[in-house]
Chain A
Amino acid sequence: QVQLVESGGGVVQPGTSLRLSCAASRFTFNGHAMHWVRQAPGKGLECVATISYDGYRSAYTDSVKGRFTISRDNSKNMLYLQMNSLRPEDTAVYYCARDLGVGATLGVIDSWGQGNLVTVSS
């Protein structure tokens, strides 16, 4: 059973930074691309960032480009999301999520963490 455990969320003020972490276990982490997906309260889903299995390629949704950075440490089975210049509209539950593909990014998310709430408010 794939396990993804997020941490690092909380309440922060606009303009500040936060780093989310995701500890992955029970699967071969370095074989899968990973995603961060967020869901604002009562709203739909938005994939904010994707990173390839080897960490060499990444992609971002327009609203976070230049502010968020996705990274991974395959030696530690860890995924990260560095969020800078946070805005109230970044308030959401952030999910760490695994790509279905092995050794290639399919863009199909097949496993999710429990979610971590980030609230940006003054």
Chain B
Amino acid sequence: DIQMTQSPSSLSASVGDRVTITCRASQGIRNDLAWYQQKPGKAPKLLIYSASSLQGGVPSRFSGSGSGTEFTLTISSLQPEDFATYFCLQHNTYPLTFGGGTKVEIK
């Protein structure tokens, strides 16, 4: 199975900060990577797929980049509603595999 390594596992940031989260795949996955946001007690929400395609209704402050084995999710200006846990998902090879998550907390 493809292993997805996400970093950092947690971070503290302030409203208005630029935040970057990284996901590394154990082998090349082209641009077959998605990003999700999850809040406590809720199902995940799709933010980005195919590395950089923004899902409908997702604010433009979220962006994704990368290909092959290295990917990033960037939040350009952190908003109060963005404090959550973020997961990456490789959708290149079955079984689909997720990163371990990055918890974004208020500084």
Chain A positions near chain B (C-beta within 8 angstroms):
35, 44-48, 50, 59-62, 95, 100, 106-110, 112-115
Please give me the 3 A-B residue pairs with the lowest Cβ-Cβ distance, nearest first.
A107-B91, A112-B43, A59-B94
Q: Does B62 count as interface, using CB distance less than 8 angstroms? A: no
Chain B positions near chain A (C-beta within 8 angstroms):
1, 32, 34, 36, 43-44, 46, 49-50, 55, 87, 89, 91-92, 94-101
Which residues does chain B contribute within 8 Å of A46, judged by CB atoms?
A: 97-98
CB distance from B78 to the nearest CB of A (A): 22
Q: Give the dominant DSSP class at A's interface.
A: strand
A62 to B50, CA, bound (A): 25
Which residues does chain A contribute within 8 Å of B101, judged by CB atoms?
A: 44-45
Q: Is the CB of B1 within 8 A of A61?
A: yes
CB distance from A83 to the nearest CB of B (A): 16
Which residues does chain A contribute within 8 Å of B1, judged by CB atoms?
A: 61-62
CB distance from A16 to the nearest CB of B (A): 24
